[in-house]
Structure 1
Amino acid sequence: MALVQAGVVVLDCAEPEKLAAFYKELLDAEETDTSANRVEIKGAADTRMAFRRDVNATPPSWPRPEHSLQVHLDFLVEDLDEAERKVVGLGGRPVDIKEPAGPFEERGYADPAGHSFTLRRVRPTAPKQG
């Protein structure tokens, strides 16, 4: 067993219950632990996230330079358009990152508390037939 193991990604925010609900729906996750100042969820493949109350939390303004990028999450999806509709329907918003295209199709977003994340299309494992 490794001396140090990856634990939980924790996002600071003013309203952990609301942010947990956003990611719980987005990731089809379940709530695993709740206290007055923290909510934790677990999704597929035991992916865990927690949301900690910080009444002074300042949302990052990325890609604008006013506040540095505090955290960035990448999520893999098969259908970018369908995933985008879900993000926006849950209260997230698209972020124009204006970066050159890379080897992956991806789109940037902000969650309802302002944390940035990317939806990245999973590459098909086999070439298209026909």
Structure 2
Amino acid sequence: MALVEAGVVVLDCAEPEQLAEFYKALLDGEETYVNANRVEITGAGGTRLALRRDVNATPPSWPRPENSLQAHLDFVVTDLDEAERRVVSLGGRPLEAKSAPGPYEERACSDPAGHSFTLRKVPAPAPKQG
């Protein structure tokens, strides 16, 4: 029997209730735990995320070096343009206008509190030959 049953990514923010609304909509999720200082969300695909109240939280400044990247999330999506439009409609914002080089198409974004995350489209596998 495993000692650790599940992991939860926790983001500190000044107003977890408001940020939870962004992530519930983005992940098609629901609140699974709420108290005065914490909201936990489980997304439709099983992603678990918690938002913890820290009245002194300051948004990360990525890509600037001061108070830079503290942590970030990657979300696998099927349509980058549609996912980015949804992020913006929910109050988030794109951080980079161009896709990063490499085998994956991806776009950097931030939530309304300034936490960065990546929308990543994994290419379809090539069909087997022979």
Q: When the two structures are superposed, what TM-score results if normalisation uses the length of structure 1?
A: 0.89
Q: What residue in structure 1 maps to residue 72 of structure 2? A: 72
Kept in 1: contact 2:99–2:106 (CA 8 A):
no
Checking the alignment, whether the CA contact within 8 Å between 1:33 and 1:41 is kept in structure 2 is: yes
Instruction: Specify the SS of the correspondent of 1:46.
Output: coil
Letter in structure 2 aligned against 1:35: N
Aligned to 2:19: 19
* CA deviation map 1:65-104 (0-9, x unaligned): 1112111110000000000000000000111287850100
Alignment check: 8 A CA contact 1:63 1:97 kept: no
- C-alpha separation between the residues in 2 aligned to 1:99 and 1:4? 36
Q: Deviations over 1:38-88 (max 9, x none)?
A: 111101343211100000001100011111211111000000000000000
Residue identity in the other structure for 1:37: N
Call closer, same or farther: CA 1:100–1:121 in 2, change over 3 Å: closer
Q: Residues 126 and 44 from structure 1, CA distance in 2 versus in 1: closer, same or farther, beyond 3 angstroms? A: farther
Q: Indicate conservation of the 8 Å contact 1:38/1:52, yes or no.
A: yes
| Aligned mates of 1:89, 1:99 — CA distance in 2 | 20
Q: In structure 2, how many angstroms separate the alpha carbons of the residues matched to 1:100 and 1:29? A: 28
Deviation at 1:2, TM superposition (A): 2.5
Partners of 1:100 and 1:39 lie apart in 2 by 32
For the 8 Å contact 2:105–2:121, the answer to whether it is kept is yes
Question: Which aligned segments of 4 or more residues in structure 1 are displaced greater than 6 angstroms?
Answer: none
- List alignment gaps of at least 5 residues for structure 2: none
Identity value in percent: 74
Q: Normalising by structure 2, what TM-score? A: 0.89
1:40 and 2:54 correspond: no
Aligned length: 127
> Is residue 106–residue 119 contact of structure 1 (8 Å, CA) maintained in 2?
yes
Q: Which residue of 1 aligns with 2:31?
A: 31
